[in-house]
Amino acid sequence: MKIYKITEASKYLGISINSLKTLANNGKLNSFKTSGEHRRFREDDLDAYMGVKKEKQERLTVIYARCSTAKQKENLERQKDRLRKHAEEKGYKYLMIDEIASGINEKRKGIHKLIKMCFEGKVERILIEYKDRLARFGYEYLDAIFRNLEIIVEIVEIKEKKYEEELAEDIMKILTCYSARYYGARGGRKKKIEPINEPNESNGI
Catalytic residues: 68
Q: Residue 84's closest CA among 69, 72, 73, 95?
A: 95
The torsion angles phi and psi of 197, rounded to 5 degrees, stand at -85, 105
Helix, strand, or coil (residue 56): coil
How far is it, in rounded angstroms, from Cα 131 to Cα 151? 15
How far is it, in rounded angstroms, from Cα 120 to Cα 112? 12
Q: Residue 79's closest CA among 60, 59, 94, 100?
A: 100
Cβ neighbours of 97 (radius 10 Å): 17
